Structure 1
Amino acid sequence: MTKTWFITGTSSGFGRILTEKLLERGDRVAATLRRPEALNELKKTFGDLLWIEALDVTDTAAVRHCVDKAFADLGHIDVIVNNAGYALFGAAEELTDDQIRRQIDTNIIGSIQVTRAALPHLRAQGGGRSMQLSSMGGQISLPALSLYHTTKWAIEGFFESVIQEVESFGIEVTLVEPAGARTNFAYGSMDNAVRMDVYTDTKVGEFRKARAAGDYHPALDPDKVALAMMASLRTSPAPKRLTLGSDAYKLVHAGLSKRLGALEAQRDIALSADYDPVR
């Protein structure tokens, strides 16, 4: 049975790949992006299966108008995919105030406002699925990506709460946590801070050199990420998380194990902070 999807950030990366695969399968896609002309060729090929609207997710009024228009025009939307976003690379003190604000406005507030705009419609139609493009970076962290990790850890916390708020309405949520991939997201749209020489011989400098050398060859297949997202709709209740890629599995597993070990090591300290039992 065909589905109707609403996807942000469809000009490139996972959003573009997912859009193409859904259209090829015969699903309808409401595609949003800042430059609608980037989808002209897809529109010629797929016609009415593809609904296109210009959207900058940092404009909250535009987000509400766009989501309302999509539901009005298409009648029923089965899946909301928050994909729009980008990464900001640089040590924390290298970043400008404007870079920090834009990263937060796009990756956190944009996703929150798309979700808030869609929830009344999903409730009214009796349910639906929401997918949030997070990252393995929502569970672990790497140097020089502090603000990117800030946004991914924050959006995971947001949805951990929202999942509990909306489950009684038949609305299910999945956080998608891919590993690094060779897409335009990582190799074209990433914003870079102006480097400070003081970080040259630190982990930030090492990471920067590795990126510049082009020695990183991700194992993750972006096409398989899109296929896994599509296949997840056949599972209900929805998986809360889709961790995708061997790198993501290994790094997230190691990170969670280390955090759990640290928690267990402090068990006695944690319990000792309660009021003493009344005797």
Structure 2
Amino acid sequence: MTSSRTWFITGASRGLGALWTEAILEYGDQVVATARDAATLKPLADRHGDRLLPLDLDVTDEAAVNEAVRTAEQHFGSIDILVNNAGHMLHGAVEEVSADQARAQMDVNYFGALWTTRAVLPGMRERRSGRILQVSSIGGLLAYPALGIYQASKWALEAMSQSLAAEVAAHGIHVTLIEPIMFPTGLAATSPQSTPISAYGHAREALYTGATASGFVPGDPAATARAILALADAPNPPLRVLFGTNGLDAVRTEYAARLAGLQEWDHISRLAQGNQAGR
């Protein structure tokens, strides 16, 4: 690192966001740390002084997001790296989840990331540099029973971010989707739960047996801080990166099955094409 950078991190008060915020400050960079209650960041502020700007922020409020980004840019001059980390993980089969829960899941995990991304882009474009780190999930690549709405929010984030990466590369902006696999951060315990319907007990069981069958084992949350700093220092960061092990095998299995299924039913694809099927 040659000079201090300014990071803007959502969901910085707990879990991976809290670990990353502290590690980045210790590394020597500056951080705008946002949380629903910025008072929870006071211990960090006491230790790191004016290199930390804690802000109250509800990422589902687009106007509040725009104001927070303006405040951050006025305070530090620019935002070099955005980390969209705020989110929760709604458990429940599709029929079990309420309409309000489904909307709230999309509002935080997808629209919250969209609002912050849009807010930092003008400054990054003007400087022709910047990094946007979107915290997705292995569930942004795969879909397990009883997590469908959560995974839908991550699939939406993945699609938007892949398009965004192609749109902003010409402006010197890099976009990376971080896909954590399994880390004990307390996310599940602090996230909303649906009201179970007994008919879907098998789906909840399949969620856990599927993760076990994939060979997923809990990783060290503190180690992810070293990984995110390495990404920030990489001259040509990837569009996607898994955090944790054994994810590659699960993704290979999933994508091989998708291709095999498309091939098996290619006769229907050709039927749908009509008289142009052979071309």
Quote the residue 1:147 is aligned against.
149
How far apart in 2 are the matches of 1:274 and 1:48? 66
One-letter code aligned to 2:80: D
Q: 1:38 to 1:176 in 2, by over 3 A?
A: same
Provide, for residues 206-236 of structure 1, a one-character-per-residue CA deviation record: whole Å limited to 9, x for no partner: 548999xxxx983322122221111012323
Counterparts in 2 of 1:177-192, with a 5 A limit? 177-186=179-188, 188-192=189-193
Counterparts in 2 of 1:84-123, with a 5 A limit? 84-123=86-125
Provide, for residues 225-252 of structure 1, a one-character-per-residue CA deviation record: whole Å limited to 9, x for no partner: 2211110123233200111212423322
How far apart in 1 are the matches of 2:160 and 2:13? 26
Q: Aligned pairs, how many?
A: 273
One-letter code aligned to 1:256: Y
Quote the residue 1:198 is aligned against.
199
Shift of residue 102, structure 1, vs aligned partner = 0.6
What is the DSSP-based 3-state SS (H/G/I as helix, E as strand, rest coil) of the residue aligned with 2:276?
coil
How far apart in 2 are the matches of 1:78 and 1:170? 12
What is the DSSP-based 3-state SS (H/G/I as helix, E as strand, rest coil) of the residue aligned with 2:204?
helix
How far apart in 1 are the matches of 2:224 and 2:263? 34
1:156–1:175 contact (8 Å) kept in structure 2: yes
Counterparts in 2 of 1:17-32, with a 5 A limit? 17-32=19-34
- Unaligned stretches of 5+ residues in structure 1: none
What is the DSSP-based 3-state SS (H/G/I as helix, E as strand, rest coil) of the residue aligned with 1:191?
coil
How far apart in 2 are the matches of 1:277 and 1:146? 34
Shift of residue 270, structure 1, vs aligned partner = 4.1
Quote the residue 1:276 is aligned against.
276
Q: Normalised by the size of structure 2, how large is the TM-score?
A: 0.90
Q: 1:198 to 1:130 in 2, by over 3 A?
A: same
Quote the residue 1:174 is aligned against.
176
Quote the residue 1:257 is aligned against.
256
Counterparts in 2 of 1:212-251, with a 5 A limit? 218-251=217-250
How far apart in 2 are the matches of 1:264 and 1:16? 45
Counterparts in 2 of 1:155-166, with a 5 A limit? 155-166=157-168
Q: Normalised by the size of structure 1, how large is the TM-score?
A: 0.90
1:178–1:248 contact (8 Å) kept in structure 2: no
Counterparts in 2 of 1:75-90, with a 5 A limit? 75-90=77-92
User: What CA RMSD, in Å, does the superposition of the two structures yield over aligned residues?
Assistant: 2.4
Quote the residue 2:55 is aligned against.
53
Q: 1:217 to 1:237 in 2, by over 3 A?
A: closer
Q: 1:224 to 1:203 in 2, by over 3 A?
A: same
